[in-house]
Amino acid sequence: MPSISHEAIYQWVYSDATELVSYLRRKNRKRLKKGFSRKRKKQMIPAWVSLSERSEAANQRKEEGHWETDLIVSNASKAALNVTVERISRKVCISIVPNRRSKESFQAIVSRLKRLPAHMLRSITYDNGSENMQHQRVNLALGTQSFFCAPYHSWEKGAVENTNGLIREYVPKGSDISLLTIKQVEKIERKLNNRPRKCLGFKTPDQVFKQLKSGALHG
């Protein structure tokens, strides 16, 4: 049976069950501040909806059109890469954004996805970064729903996190992203979307995405 540390219990109470704080023997101010900061970070995003509310069909990858998005950033530049991945096919869209502001992320996501049919635009899963503050505008433009990982649980959007790792093969940490050209980013995107994947039965993301888009797999 796995053991649970006292520290884990304290952090759970301070971050998710604050009504129990008064019952704790040690009401450590440092822990309290850390726990409530997690609450504030979650609440700063308007219309925040937990990932736990996403449908089982989406969770089990049985329905197309559910996406995950993230930013790849670097201390070497203000520019970043917006990475948006469809959960079933692992189809990736990569866009250079000049900074990490929410306006840039909104524009990158909408510009890449807006031409897709409605059944390919069901939901987008985000982390709690401030670049996602305009997710409601994305929903208005695309007809999607928004879901958010728990604070500091970016691993819950595993499709995009895994894709970020593949992108890092071409854009190592510490790279100056502002020096990348659109053609270079398009080349990385093409390579990833045309790489056979074991999880796809050795089909490529592009092949599976086209089947999903036409309704051939889930029609």
pLDDT single digits (tens) 110-141: 999 999 999 999 999 999 999 999 999 999 99
Query: Which residues does 34 contact at the CB level (< 8 Å), separation at least 6?
Result: 11, 14, 15
- The token pair at 86 is 């469809």
Q: Is the pLDDT of residue 14 over 60?
A: no
Say whether pLDDT at 91 is over 50.
yes
Least confident stretch, 124-128, 151-155, 190-194: 151-155
Cβ contact 32:11 at 8 Å: no
Q: Which domains does the chain have, with CATH numbers?
A: 6-43 (no CATH), 51-214 (3.30.420.10)
Q: What is the dihedral of CA 54, 60, 64, 69, to 10 degrees?
A: 60
Q: What number is the average pLDDT over the span 194-208?
A: 97
